[in-house]
Amino acid sequence: MKLKYFLLWVCFICMSSAFAGPLFDRFKDKQQQALVDFGNQNLKNVGAHVFYPFGGPDITYPLLMFPNFEVLTLMGLEPAKPVDAPVELDNKALNNLSSLYRSSFFRTIDMAAGLRNVADLILKQLENLEATNVTVQPIEGRTNAVEIKFIYNSKPRMIRYYKAGLNNEQINLEFLETLKPFDVVLFKAASYLPHQKPFSTFRNFMLENTKTFVQDSTGIPYDYLKDRFSLDLHGQYLMPYKFPGGFEQQDFRKYSEELKKPVLDICFGYGCKKVPTNILIATRKETPSL
């Protein structure tokens, strides 16, 4: 009996260690080139600094989608500390990463259940994408903040991750000011937080300080964007996935139905293959000096 459990355990460990491999290969086959093509076709004019609030450890999507990416600023509630490459992920971290490759996003609840260091997951994604010369440093004056430099596609790039709450009670606008200018702000699988009252200060700040949003329907609601931004919808918006009764956007749905855009064969946020994918590119009509 005991031997049986031991063998099962060994088997589980072996499968877990190989976990991200096949899933990444599948992601690479099915999604990677589609994301690169999407960026080359639609995001060639956006600048070099990508700000990704509620981004957690996701560096794969911004790195593939934004052809001009030089600096990525990421924020989430997960802890971060410097670590050397290459990293060995534990089973919990591997599970987190598998969610990105399988479903296109990291799950907050799974990360809260035991992710020890966002930097581990970032380094593993960089390794999978064949980035080189990777270095990690703490960001001075902040805890749970790391700066990662690397070469990707022969160009030097930098990622800064900050653990920071963005709800009205925790948001630090002075700190956000220091990160400007934002060339482009990315929202994907943002738990519909920018729709919600407790995030109104954050939402208003972003509306005042962003040139371009690239987002799924969890980002800034359509009604806040439609007058001040030029909109370019890719794919179709139908409804929120698995958020019953919440965060529906009737005007956005009408706008999408009128446009009749073809289905987008990319996974980008909640409900991949269950509801149509939508990526909205919203560009400020009059650009003040940001």
Ligand X SMILES: C[S@@+](CC[C@H](N)C(=O)[O-])C[C@H]1O[C@@H](n2cnc3c(N)ncnc32)[C@H](O)[C@@H]1O
- Which of 39, 55, 271, 276 lies at the binding interface for ligand X (CB under 6 A)? 55
Are 105 and 188 within 8 A, CB to CB? yes
Strand order of the sheet with strand 210-215?
132-138, 145-152, 155-163, 71-76, 49-52, 182-187, 210-215, 278-284, 229-235
Based on the shown chain and the rule CB under 6 A, indicate whether residue 106 belongs to the binding site for ligand X: yes
User: How far apart are alpha carbons 217 and 236 in whole angstroms?
Assistant: 10
Output b/e per residue, 76-85; b: 16+ Cβ within 10 A.
bbbebeebeb
- Please tell me whether residue 240 adopts helix, strand or coil conformation: coil
- Which of 70, 81, 83, 107 lies at the binding interface for ligand X (CB under 6 A)? 107
Based on the shown chain and the rule CB under 6 A, indicate whether residue 235 belongs to the binding site for ligand X: no
What angle do helix axes 2-17 and 91-103 make, rounded to 10 degrees?
50
- Which of 108, 200, 201, 249 lies at the binding interface for ligand X (CB under 6 A)? 108
Nearer CB in complex with ligand X: 102/254? 102
Ranges within 118-157 binding ligand X (CB under 6 A): none
Build a one-symbol-per-residue string for 161-190: x at contacts with ligand X by CB under 6 A, - elsewhere: ----xxx--------------------xxx
Single out the residue of 196, 194, 198, 193 nearest to residue 169, CA to CA. Answer: 198
Nearer CB in complex with ligand X: 14/113? 113
Based on the shown chain and the rule CB under 6 A, indicate whether residue 194 belongs to the binding site for ligand X: no
- Please tell me whether residue 84 adopts helix, strand or coil conformation: coil
Nearer CB in complex with ligand X: 78/120? 78
Cβ of 155: how many Cβ atoms within 10 Å?
A: 10
Select from 15-23, 72-80, 138-146, 272-280 the region that touches ligand X (CB under 6 A): 72-80
Nearer CB in complex with ligand X: 124/288? 124
Count residues near ligand X (CB under 6 A).
21
Between the alpha carbon of residue 185 and those of residues 32, 47, 129, 193, the distances in Å are: 21, 11, 22, 15
Nearer CB in complex with ligand X: 91/196? 196
- Which of 42, 191, 196, 200 lies at the binding interface for ligand X (CB under 6 A)? 191
Based on the shown chain and the rule CB under 6 A, indicate whether residue 261 belongs to the binding site for ligand X: no
Contacts to ligand X by CB under 6 A: 54-56, 58, 75-78, 100, 105-108, 165-167, 188-191, 193
